[in-house]
């Protein structure tokens, strides 16, 4: 088990080469941008390195409000988790594509509604592994586990002993896929993979997902995908119809698949719901 003492100091403005090289023992490549760290940079985190910041800034040139959009996406996650816990009685969550821990994390949000909630975090990036194991500490009453796995292999995920020891797959599960499906290319069949995940869950389970879209500003988002491609990263924005297919056969709760800012906002509705280029939705398996 990794502890916080094992983790090198996080990326700093001077990015000390000795510290960067320490990350190598975790299998982290600090020479190329990575989605988790670019996103961490936008959220104001410290776990990012020069190539991540360079890509983050290149994308920011195309979409100057990209940092606010990342925060809007996180805020959707908070509202969705609270909704699932309060309105659907979800007491166990599977958070796929967890990212670098950013408080409030899923277990913190869910435990505030219902102490004792179980959470399994899943990511396939070694830097997330290092941080999540050390930092995602649940309350004594609850069970929080981290699994290093690939959401494109649901059969391996659902038989992982750490998952089956934490989640009761005969009971409803809240499946979160927040800002992760854009990292799976069409050729990798994200719809087939998500269908396999849906099929593995019992009635009463819910999905909450977000994914970026070009629907609100095709030109700017075209530049984003170009910047990602130039940095060697897959980033596939998707249309409303393409995103709807991820929920196939499950009932979307009101207001349906919406711009994340417009999905059950806390307080006043946003002046411009399309100011964050993400679709977000929540659906239930009947
Ligand atoms: C942009 S971050 C989003 C983090 C978090 N869900 C959020 O919205 O704040 C995407 C995360 O998905 C992870 N990821 C990408 N492809 C994955 C895969 N095939 N299986 C598991 N995790 C994946 C990345 O490593 C990264 O940590």
Mean pLDDT (whole number) for 192-210: 98
Question: What is the pLDDT at residue 122?
Answer: 96
Beta pairing partners, 211? 279
Distance 278 CA to ligand 1 centre (A): 15
Judge whether 259 lies within some domain: yes
Chain centroid to CA 18: 30
124 lines ligand 1 (CB under 6 A): yes
Chain centroid to CA 265: 19
Q: What is the DSSP letter of 257?
A: S
Q: Is the pLDDT of residue 10 over 60?
A: no
Q: Which residue has the tokens 């190539």?
A: 51
State whether 81 and 54 are in the same domain: no
Residues of the domain holding 121: 66-217+234-284
Instruction: Give the number of other CB atoms < 10 A from CB of residue 232.
Output: 11
Closest of 97, 129, 162, 121 to residue 27, by C-alpha: 129
Distance CA 75, CA 263 (A): 10
Pocket test for ligand 1, best of 44, 147, 183, 228 (most atoms within 8 A of CB): 183
Question: What is the pLDDT at residue 163?
Answer: 95
Question: What is the pLDDT at residue 135?
Answer: 66
Judge whether 226 lies within some domain: no
224 lines ligand 1 (CB under 6 A): no
End-to-end CA distance of the chain: 38
Look up the CATH number of the domain holding residue 170. Answer: 3.40.50.150
State whether 138 and 272 are in the same domain: yes
Question: What is the pLDDT at residue 56?
Answer: 97
State whether 200 and 126 are in the same domain: yes
Question: What is the pLDDT at residue 229?
Answer: 95
Tokens of 212: 């970026």
Mean pLDDT (whole number) for 216-220: 97
Distance 203 CA to ligand 1 centre (A): 26
Question: What is the pLDDT at residue 69?
Answer: 97
From 26, 43, 62, the end of a domain falls on: 62
From 12, 29, 62, the end of a domain falls on: 62
- Report which of residues 95 and 134 the model is more confident about: 95
Q: Is the pLDDT of residue 11 over 50?
A: no
User: Which atom of ligand 1 is closest in space to residue 176's alpha carbon?
Assistant: 6
Q: Is the pLDDT of residue 39 over 50?
A: yes
State whether 71 and 162 are in the same domain: yes
Least confident of 79-88, 137-146, 187-196: 137-146
Report DSSP letters for 107-154, one per residue: HHHHHHHSTT-EEEEEE--HHHHHHHHHH-PPPTTSEEEEEE--TT-H
Judge whether 170 lies within some domain: yes
Number of structural domains (the chain) is 2
CB 132 within 8 A of CB 107: no
Pocket test for ligand 1, best of 35, 56, 280 (most atoms within 8 A of CB): 35
Question: What is the pLDDT at residue 22?
Answer: 78
Band of the pLDDT at 55, cuts 50, 70, 90?
Answer: very high
Task: Determine if the pTM surpasses 0.75.
Answer: yes
Question: What is the pLDDT at residue 2?
Answer: 40
Q: Is the pLDDT of residue 262 over 70?
A: yes
Least confident of 47-56, 125-134, 235-244: 125-134
Q: Is the pLDDT of residue 159 over 60?
A: yes
State whether 241 and 140 are in the same domain: yes
Mean pLDDT (whole number) for 171-179: 98
33 lines ligand 1 (CB under 6 A): no
**What contacts 74, CB < 8 A, 6 or more positions away?**
43, 102, 178
Instruction: Give the number of other CB atoms < 10 A from CB of residue 26.
Output: 16
Q: What is the mean pLDDT of the chain?
A: 91
State whether 54 and 70 are in the same domain: no
Judge whether 75 lies within some domain: yes
Q: Is the pLDDT of residue 242 over 80?
A: yes
Residue percentage of the chain with pLDDT more than 70: 92
State whether 77 and 49 are in the same domain: no
Q: What is the DSSP letter of 183?
A: G
Beta strands in the chain (DSSP E): 92-96, 118-123, 143-148, 174-178, 206-212, 251-252, 258-259, 278-284
73 lines ligand 1 (CB under 6 A): yes
Judge whether 242 lies within some domain: yes
Tokens of 40: 């961490």
Q: List, for residues 15-25, the tens digit of each pLDDT value.
A: 777 777 778 77
CB 55 within 8 A of CB 228: yes
Distance 252 CA to ligand 1 centre (A): 23
Mean pLDDT (whole number) for 165-189: 97
Kindly report the protein residue whose alpha carbon is nearest to atom 27 of ligand 1.
Answer: 99
183 lines ligand 1 (CB under 6 A): yes
150 lines ligand 1 (CB under 6 A): yes
Instruction: Give the number of other CB atoms < 10 A from CB of residue 255.
Output: 12
State whether 179 and 40 are in the same domain: no
Question: What is the pLDDT at residue 12?
Answer: 47
State whether 156 and 84 are in the same domain: yes
Distance CA 203, CA 37 (A): 35
State whether 161 and 86 are in the same domain: yes
Q: Is the pLDDT of residue 8 over 60?
A: no
74 lines ligand 1 (CB under 6 A): yes
Mean pLDDT (whole number) for 26-50: 93
Mean pLDDT (whole number) for 32-37: 94
Least confident of 39-43, 54-58, 129-133, 185-189: 129-133
State whether 129 and 79 are in the same domain: yes
Distance 190 CA to ligand 1 centre (A): 13
State whether 127 and 58 are in the same domain: no
Kindly report the protein residue whose alpha carbon is nearest to atom 13 of ligand 1.
Answer: 97
Question: What is the pLDDT at residue 13?
Answer: 44
């Amino acid at each position: 088990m990794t502890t916080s003492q094992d983790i090198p100091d996080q990326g700093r403005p001077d990015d000390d080469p000795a510290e960067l090289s320490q990350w190598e023992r975790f299998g982290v490549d600090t020479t190329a941008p990575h989605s988790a760290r670019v996103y961490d940079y936008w959220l104001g985190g410290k776990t990012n390195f020069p190539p991540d910041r360079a890509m983050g800034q290149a994308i920011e040139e195309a979409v100057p409000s990209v940092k606010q959009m990342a925060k809007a996406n996180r805020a959707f996650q908070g509202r969705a988790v609270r909704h699932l816990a309060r309105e659907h009685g979800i007491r166990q969550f599977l958070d796929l594509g967890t990212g670098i821990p950013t408080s409030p994390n899923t277990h913190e949000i869910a435990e505030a509604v219902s102490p004792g909630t179980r959470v399994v975090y899943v990511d396939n990036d070694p830097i997330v592994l290092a941080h999540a194991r050390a930092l995602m500490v649940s309350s004594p009453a609850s069970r929080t586990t981290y699994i290093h796995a690939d959401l494109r292999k649901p059969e391996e995920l659902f038989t992982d002993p750490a998952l089956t020891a934490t989640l009761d797959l005969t009971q409803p599960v809240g499946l979160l896929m927040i800002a992760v499906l854009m990292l799976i290319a069409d050729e990798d069949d994200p719809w087939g993979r998500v269908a396999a995940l849906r099929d593995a869950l019992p009635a009463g389970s819910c999905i909450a997902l977000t994914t970026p879209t070009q629907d609100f500003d095709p030109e700017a988002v075209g530049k984003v995908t170009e910047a990602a491609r130039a940095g060697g990263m897959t980033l596939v924005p998707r249309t409303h119809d393409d995103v709807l297919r991820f929920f196939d056969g499950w009932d979307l709760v009101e207001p349906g698949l919406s711009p994340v800012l417009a999905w059950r906002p806390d307080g006043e509705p946003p002046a411009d719901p399309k100011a964050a280029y993400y679709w977000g939705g929540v659906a239930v398996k009947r």
